[in-house]
Amino acid sequence: MSGLGPHAAYILASYALAAIIVGGLVIHAVLDYRTQRAALQRLEASGTRRRSAGPVTGPQA
Amino acid sequence: MIRYANPTRFLGLASWLIPALAGLAALTLAVGLWMVFAVAPADYQQGETVRIMYIHVPAAWLAMGCYTLMALSAIGTLVWRHPLADVSQKAAAPLGAAFTALCLVTGSLWGKPMWGTWWVWDARLTSVLVLFLMYCGVMALWNAIEDPARAGRAVSILTLVGFINIPIVKFSVDWWNTLHQPASVIRLSGPTIDPSMLWPLLVMAVGASLLFIALHLMGMRNEILRRRVRTLGLLAAQREDTAAGLAEAGPTR
């Protein structure tokens, strides 16, 4: 800490903010992916298919 | 490019590219941070505060680079109707806003001990603030229009109009008398910064760029899935309506 001189608080605040913003972006992207994938699986399990996905074959679980 | 216009093919590519880029970004940023705190010297005038530069400058480059990417995607949407172009635009906007906010706040944290003020309304700082507001406007417009295709076209026009701000940000320090220092890395006559500081800066910039690309691909993947969920939700609702209509009509001979 003392190695960063009298303005250590400004330097550390900058790096802490960068870590918070990057961490927030990563966590948001991962959680959003899980949410969308779960919603998609739920809809597909109910028997709904996109036309481009082709005809449904076999039982829907 | 055209080959990966197919969202399903893109998802296959993203499934291995995202972890590879994320791992590479983490490694590059770790090396960069070691260079910043263990190798790079303090500046003879600014002292240790120069270490803020290693986040502030890559964040500023990404803030402008992200908007340029959005403008290129906007052209892809309006001219070629590329199916992934508006997905790319939508995924990039929050990342651009985040890196612009990081640039603004780290700039303030650097400015206070060096300039004696958190903020001045000079051309560079003001144009970067306008860039942040543009990102916010683009995100608001995406959320204001429900149909993604219509929203994509409206956002593309707004993005291209707002692109005028990018050269203003870049050249503001040359065109006007600003408190912000002029460019010292990306210059026609070459960088004026000492190699002992330039290399850590470039490593941090490469790491941040890899991180940005990984996050952008993650955002695009999420947006493709969101659109599939929306389409399937509409199809499911349509199916329920049809079934209800048939039930109301009663049995037919």
* C-alpha gyration radius of chain A: 23
Our CA angle for A48, A50, A55, nearest 5°, is 80
Tell me the residues of chain A between 7 and 26 that have a Cβ less than 8 Å away from chain B. Answer: 7-8, 10-11, 13-15, 17-18, 21-22, 24-26
Tell me whether residue B229 is in a domain: no
Tell me whether residue B52 is in a domain: yes
Mean pLDDT by 10 residues, chain A (61 residues): 82 97 97 96 83 50 34
Beta bridge partners of B43: B47
Secondary structure class of B43 (helix, strand, coil): strand
**Which amino acid, one-letter code, is at B96?**
G
The pTM (predicted TM-score) of the whole model is 0.89
Tell me whether residue B237 is in a domain: no
Nearest CA in chain B to A3: B48
Q: How many domains does chain B have?
A: 1
DSSP state of A6: G
- The answer to whether the complex's ipTM is over 0.95 is no
Q: Say which residues have a Cβ less than 8 Å from residue A61's Cβ, sequence separation at least 6.
A: A45
Q: List the domain range (segments joined by +) for residue B208.
A: 9-174+195-224
Tell me the residues of chain B between 149 and 208 that have a Cβ less than 8 Å away from chain A. Answer: none
B160 by Cβ neighbours in 10 Å (0-12 / 13-18 / 19+) ranks as middle
Q: What pLDDT score does B251 carry?
A: 65
B230 close to A (CB below 8 A):
no
Candidates B18, B37, B49, partner chain A, best to mutate (most A CBs within 10 A):
B49
B237 close to A (CB below 8 A):
no
Residue ranges per structural domain of chain A: 2-45
Question: Nearest-CA distance from B233 to chain A in Å?
Answer: 7
Our CA angle for B19, B25, B28, nearest 5°, is 140
Best CA proximity match to B110, nearest among A3, A14, A2, A54: A14
Q: Which of B99, B106, B233 sits opposite A43 (nearest CB)?
A: B233
DSSP line for B83-133: TTHHHHHHHHHHHHHHHHHHHHHHHHHHHHHHHS-S----HHHHHHHHHHH
CA distances from B76 to B80, B81, B85, B196 (A): 5, 6, 5, 40
DSSP line for B130-175: HHHHHHHHHHHHHHH-SSHHHHHHHHHHHHHHHTTHHHHHHHHHHH
**pLDDT tens profile B46-105:** 899 999 999 999 999 999 999 999 999 999 999 988 889 999 999 999 999 999 999 999
Q: What pLDDT score does A61 carry?
A: 34
Q: Which chain B residues are closer than 8 Å to A29 by Cβ?
A: 215, 218-219, 222
Best CA proximity match to B89, nearest among B212, B210, B208, B223: B223
Q: Which chain B residues are closer than 8 Å to A46 by Cβ?
A: 236
| CA–CA separation, B26 and A26 (whole Å) | 12
